[in-house]
Amino acid sequence: MLLNLSMTASGFLSFLAVKYKAYWLMLISRLIAGLCIEVLVVTQNTMSQKWFTGKFIGLAMSLNTELMLGSMAISGWLGPELYLSTRNILVVILV
């Protein structure tokens, strides 16, 4: 729960950084996001190793990685398109 709140705070700080053109605030936001994402990835991998055994652990780990990278790719493509169509940065952050 704490990591989710931290990621929400990071998104809000990113919004404020863009709105007020504060580069230092964006750096803080990215630092918080980076730390939270790393902890979440380690936690997910640890849970996958405890939950799955044998030949299924490879499938579980690869699906976990694929979902993460796939969501990053979709976000990277969708973010600029949303901003160009709406001209509203808040829409990009909330989606």
- At 2-30, the pLDDT tens digits run 777 888 888 888 888 878 888 888 888 88
**Are the C-beta atoms of 51 and 63 separated by less than 8 Å?**
no
* Per-residue confidence (pLDDT) for residue 94, from 0 to 100: 65
pLDDT for the residue 22 = 83
Q: Model's pTM, two decimal places?
A: 0.55
Tens-place pLDDT, residues 38-84 = 888 788 888 888 888 888 888 888 888 888 778 777 777 777 777 77
Structure tokens at 23: 């580069």
Residues 6+ apart with CB under 8 A from 45: 61, 64
Q: At 11, list the tokens.
A: 């998104």
Tell me which residue of 36, 35, 37, 12 sits closest to 25, measured CA to CA: 12
Q: For residues 67 and 73, give the distance between their C-alpha atoms in angstroms, rounded to a whole number.
A: 10
Report the alpha-carbon distance of residue 57 to residue 48 in Å, rounded. Answer: 7
pLDDT band at residue 95 using 50, 70 and 90 as cut-offs: low
Whole-number pLDDT of residue 82? 72
